[in-house]
Amino acid sequence: MARIAVVTGGTRGIGGAISVALKDAGYAVAANYGGNDVAAQAFREETGIPTYKFDVADLAACEAGIKKITEDLGPVDVLVNNAGITRDVTLHRMTAEQWMEVMQTNLTSCFNMSRCVIESMRGRGFGRIINIGSINGQAGQLGQTNYSAAKCGMQGFTKALALEGAAKGITVNCIAPGYISTDMVRAVPAPVLEKIVARIPVGRLGEPEEVARAVVFLAADEAGFVTGSTLSINGGQHIY
Ligand code: NDP
């Protein structure tokens, strides 16, 4: 029987590449998304991967979403917390809404989704939780106190949950991508993006497939000794 994988924000960008890579590796994949029905439909038609629309920032919506996925495919073996947003603005102009929206979609979503699958994973003695953080959670970034805090928080969440899951066959890891060629990065103004690329030793943006490859590695049954770690995939931009 194929293992079941859920990828939040799994219909576009990095998440879309993760969904496809996991499917290619033999997983039965459920791709969640938040609101872009057009992109989700195109993804579904192109890949054959079923899509599930619910807001990862809303615990009740996650519970309903996981219930439906479990009915359709089976209990979740692999959870990839990938959905994320930015609301960039310097702190002296940031509204409470911009702070909360980013915290809830990027960080609280990890609680929501993990909470919905963790008891079943513990009961079955197997689980893989992979959280997609960011270089900006490691290094900080101007205009991103909300995003950097949320992404750094994901690393702490990863470490604590890794300790809780270790004796139950559940690994929890984080991937911290650098700048990857997706809609999120294409939204950055061109002059700013040029400066960013100039600071990447590899000399280019990363590709979503380069992140997806690491997810497949961490999701594997054979990766059971890798837990609590953060894997940086950033072209050498931030090494520590
Ligand atoms: P995109 O903006 O291309 O895609 C984001 C995905 O998340 C979409 O599928 C979107 O759904 C989904 N999503 C957003 N909000 C919600 C929500 N409330 N509920 C459910 N789904 C939601 O992002 P990227 O592919 O660029 O980024 C993916 C992850 O990687 C994010 O966590 C991001 O922070 C992180 N990251 C990205 C980097 C980059 O350079 N691109 C660098 C470092 C980290 P919909 O299509 O419906 O809008």
User: Which tens digits make up the pLDDT trace of 159-216?
Assistant: 999 999 999 999 999 999 999 999 888 888 899 899 999 999 999 999 999 999 999 9
- 82 Cα to the center of ligand 1, angstroms: 6
Query: Is any atom of ligand 1 closer than 6 Å to the C-beta of 39?
Result: yes
Query: Is any atom of ligand 1 closer than 6 Å to the C-beta of 165?
Result: no
Residue 61 lies in a domain: yes
Q: Are 174 and 153 in contact (CB under 8 A)?
A: no
The pLDDT value recorded for residue 113 is: 99
Total of domains in the chain: 1
**Is the backbone of residue 159 left (phi > 0), alpha (psi -120 to 50) or beta?**
alpha
The pLDDT value recorded for residue 186 is: 86
CA dist 5 and 70 (Å) reads 10
Residue 169 lies in a domain: yes
- 83 Cα to the center of ligand 1, angstroms: 4
Query: Is any atom of ligand 1 closer than 6 Å to the C-beta of 14?
Result: yes
Q: Are 216 and 22 in contact (CB under 8 A)?
A: yes
Residue 219, domain CATH: 3.40.50.720
HSE, side-chain direction, 13 A CA sphere, residue 195: 4
Residue 214 lies in a domain: yes
Residue 239 lies in a domain: no
Q: Are 133 and 151 in contact (CB under 8 A)?
A: yes
Percent of the chain with pLDDT over 70: 100
Residue 130 lies in a domain: yes
- Containing domain of residue 157, as a range? 4-232
pLDDT for 144 beyond 90: yes
Residue 240 lies in a domain: no
Residue 237 lies in a domain: no
- 167 Cα to the center of ligand 1, angstroms: 31
Ligand 1 binding pocket mutation candidate from 33, 38, 49 (most atoms within 8 A of CB): 33
Query: Is any atom of ligand 1 closer than 6 Å to the C-beta of 153?
Result: no
CA dist 211 and 233 (Å) reads 7
Q: What is the pTM of this model?
A: 0.98
Residue 238 lies in a domain: no
pLDDT for 240 beyond 90: no
Q: Cβ–Cβ contacts within 10 Å for residue 222, how many? A: 8
Q: How many residues does the chain have?
A: 240
Query: How confident is the model over 51-101, as pLDDT tens digits?
Result: 999 999 999 999 999 999 999 999 999 999 999 999 999 999 999 999 999
Q: How far is CA 62 from CA 12, 32, 52, 108, 116, in A?
A: 19, 10, 10, 11, 7
